[in-house]
A and B are shown apart, each in its own frame.
Chain A
Amino acid sequence: MHLAYPTIVAALLFSVGVYGVLARRNAILVLMSVELMLNAVNLNLVTFDIWYRDRLHGGQVLTLFTIVIAAAEIGLGLAIVLLVYRNRRMVDVDRLRALAEDSTRPAALEAGPQPEPGGEKAGAVEEAAP
């Protein structure tokens, strides 16, 4: 089997994932796109594992690990998204602008209730959200 087929599929899948991460607004859709990119990587790993005839099966084992890590990541990611949703009542990543200076922050964001005890945590969450 020609090596180009799986690698090109992986490349296209990765690009689609990139588009999704950059263009989607809903945090859950962004997470889905991240999964697409991870799968593209997995495909590459498997492909090259087979191409090298790796006796240790490093590629495929690493794929397994990646899948596990992806599962963990999606769990944590969803937890963060839920936290953001609890704090802000929305999960639109292009409206989470805590990184900007206060003066340029749109007033609409200020309106969202900022629970006092979770304030610090929420700040950490917003940076990790996308």
Chain B
Amino acid sequence: MIWLASLVVLLPFLGAFAGMLLGPSLTRLLGGRSGTDTPPLRNGPALIACLPIAVSLVLAAIVAFVAWQDVDERTGSLTLIETGSVLIEVGLQVDWLSAFVGLMVCCVALAVHVYSVAYLKGDRRYSSYAAFVSLFTAAMLLVVYSGDLLVLYAGWEVMGICSYFLIGHHWEDRANSRAAVKAFLVTRLGDVGFLLGVLVLGVGAGTFEIDEILRNVDELSAATATAATLLLLAGVAGKSAQFPLHTWLPDAMAGPTPISALIHAATMVAAGVYVVARLHEVFVEAPTSLVVLGVVAVVSMVGSALAALAQDDLKRVLAYSTISQLAVMAAGLAVGADTAAIFHLLTHGAFKALLFLSAGCVIVVAGSNMLAHYGGLRRGMPITFWSMTVGLAALAGVPPLSGWFSKDSVIEAAQHAALHGGESAVASAAVTPPGSTPGLYALDVDPDGQVVNLPGGVAWLVYLGLLLTVALTAAYAMRAWLMTFFGEQRGSYEIREPSRLMSWTVAVLAVPAAILGFFGLGAAELRPHVGAASVSFLLVVVGAGAAFLVWNGDPAADPARVLGRARPVFARAFYVDELYALVIVRPIRALARYVVTFDRRQVDAAVVGSGRGATWLGGRIRFPQNGNVQNYLTGLLAGVVVIVAGVVIFL
């Protein structure tokens, strides 16, 4: 089992290097020409990228199936590293959480790979792109399966650098490379906190083994737990794009669309939520961190949902919706519903990958990211239309699609926390299979399940924020749907399905996005409850209906116009970027400029000054050497006279 899991991680990792080194040669071997229209089966890098992921997918499915049948968690260590004080164990851990998230990652990665073959057809740097996607996937799988915090951190960092390379794939455009640098720097800012958190937690618990830490979580002092979790939250906020550090995500849309799908659905942003779920028991020990998490989640979800409402760019709509949905997961974690949060993570991975890939189809066909250039697309591209409809409906939470189930379970948990004085029973994560046939693997609530102590106010805040988000999500999903596929065509391009490789990938992805929710029926806490479900359904109808009514008034215009004065505020995401530019970027730039100036004026000046001084002195001294022989002779004779006079006087 552990060996299967390690193979799952290793295969894409090796595929990355093999693709980078051997991909183009393989293309030539198969008779294709690199850089041009090569059939997929003769595209060396594509084959080297797709096959290991496909094998990994099969293996991950086996792992997940085994984990589902037998819920015991398994850990295994591959090697031990002696560091003197704390033993570092390079080990993997497989339980239902990692098994299912890993399976989801493999699914999305494979879909992205297959899709990219068509999407990046003829790209010069396709082989390095495919290699980085593979490496990215491997890193995420390492995070998912790792049984040790330091191993997890390694995967975490590799993801950071891969995201940098992939977002900046088209680095010829200055904006893309800037977006890549921004993503890297912002997530790095969080990673500093994350590393410190890992160290605090590991040193506090005496081990970096996740299993061990969770087992001995009671022995952690409250201060250690709070400090560690707060520091970890910084990294989580960076990677999962939560409120203070969320600004990189919309800019990361500069990358190719499949990369957006990969980052948003499966890998990078999921990692943050995954880590919180993984260490949820530690978070439970630190109520302060949960409050912070909850507040951050509420701010992120409502704010980014409002921002999504006003975006002009289809991909940015999806980007803000990702922030919003991740905040929903974080909210679920904050109110103690970690199973529900992971469930939402899985369904979100499915429908967000679907959304991004179908958005990629739309972009390829329309040649633009702007919503204003679309319209009436449903006629020419039915596969994309229906797939995207499924995706948006799942995003909005329309029953019975996957998003409805998962979001409902989160809302239900939040409602429970709000109504019952901020206390909610937490099912022990380790023993909860998230899906099975009803009754067979019914939820096995841990008898001594921990209790999350969330202040009632925060719980209410989370609950109301979630409800508001549901309505807003429905509204912006409706708006994007209507503006893209209905009304009159607003551009001069031929509406047709993109290449079969792309449209069929999208169609296949639509299936899990639609039905994944039914798997949640197996667990009691994931089943829809009538109260919460009806409230949220009502809100969906309200949100979507409002968007439809506004759009119906003037199908040619943007429904966001009714936002009026608030629209630019939303469109600029509440000017957070501008605020950062003002508060952080500009002072740092000024400081950097000052440092440069100081260096030039003070440090360099000493060096340059001595050089100049020598030059000046040389110039002065050279002045007598002007070629006038009389001067030379005068000096010579004067010297002789002085010497003779000295001899005469002193001897």
Contact = CB atoms under 8 A, between A and B. Distances in A.
Nearest to B625: A100
A96 interface: yes
Most interface-central of B628, B630, B631 (chain A CB within 10 A): B630
B634 A22 contact: yes
Contact of A96 (B629, B633, B637): B629
B637 A94 contact: no
A23 B631 CA distance: 10
B626 interface: yes
Interface string B620-651: 00100111111111100100000000000000
A130 B627 contact: no
A108 interface: no
A98 B626 CA distance: 9
Interface string A74-117: 00000000000000000001101111110011000000000000
A21 interface: yes
A18 B630 CA distance: 11
A16 to B, nearest CB: 14
Nearest to B638: A22
A38 interface: no
A94 B633 contact: no
A129 interface: yes
A93 B627 contact: no
A84 B152 CA distance: 89
Nearest to A98: B627
B27 to A, nearest CB: 62
A72 B543 CA distance: 120
A93 B630 contact: yes
A100 B629 CA distance: 10
Contacts of A97: 626-628
A87 to B, nearest CB: 16
Contact of A18 (B625, B629, B637): B637
Contacts of A104: 622, 626-627
Nearest to A126: B629
Given A18-B637, A22-B634, A129 B629 contact: yes
Interface string A14-39: 00001001110000000000000000
Nearest to A109: B627
Contacts of A130: 629-630, 633
B633 A22 contact: yes
Contact of B628 (A21, A94, A101): A94
Contacts of B627: 96-101, 104-105
A100 B637 contact: no
A97 B627 CA distance: 4
A22 B636 CA distance: 11
Contact of B630 (A22, A100, A101, A105): A22
Contacts of B633: 21-22, 130
A22 B637 contact: yes
A96 B633 CA distance: 14
A99 B628 CA distance: 8
Given A18-B637, A22-B637, A94 B625 contact: no
A90 to B, nearest CB: 14
Contacts of B625: 100-101
A118 to B, nearest CB: 20
A22 B628 CA distance: 11
Interface string B369-390: 0000000000000000000000
A16 B637 CA distance: 13
Contacts of A100: 625-628
Most interface-central of B625, B627, B631, B637 (chain A CB within 10 A): B627
Contacts of B631: 94
A104 B634 CA distance: 20
Contacts of A99: 627, 629, 632
Nearest to A24: B630
Interface in B602-631: 622, 625-631
A73 B628 CA distance: 22
Nearest to B623: A104
B616 to A, nearest CB: 15
Interface in B231-277: none
A76 to B, nearest CB: 17
Interface in B210-224: none
Interface in A28-82: none
A85 to B, nearest CB: 17
A105 B625 CA distance: 11
Nearest to A25: B630
A49 B547 CA distance: 130
Nearest to B633: A22
Nearest to B634: A22
Contact of A93 (B622, B629, B637): B629
A97 B633 CA distance: 14
A23 B637 CA distance: 13
Contacts of A21: 630, 633
Contacts of B637: 18, 22
A20 to B, nearest CB: 11
Contacts of A129: 629
A85 B407 CA distance: 107
Contacts of A98: 627
A91 to B, nearest CB: 13
A71 to B, nearest CB: 23
A104 B622 CA distance: 10
A13 to B, nearest CB: 16
B554 to A, nearest CB: 78
B618 to A, nearest CB: 12
B429 to A, nearest CB: 83
Contacts of A93: 628-630
A74 to B, nearest CB: 19
Contacts of A96: 627, 629
A104 B618 CA distance: 13
Contacts of B632: 99
A47 to B, nearest CB: 20
A96 B628 CA distance: 7
Nearest to A22: B634
Contacts of B629: 93-94, 96, 99, 129-130
A89 B645 CA distance: 41
Interface of A: 18, 21-23, 93-94, 96-101, 104-105, 129-130
6 contacts: A22-B637, A93-B629, A97-B626, A99-B627, A104-B622, A130-B633
Given A94-B631, A97-B628, A130-B633, 4 more contacts: A21-B630, A22-B637, A100-B626, A130-B630
Which 9 A-B pairs rank lowest in CB-CB distance, beginning with the nearest?
A100-B627, A97-B627, A99-B627, A130-B629, A94-B628, A22-B634, A100-B626, A94-B630, A93-B630
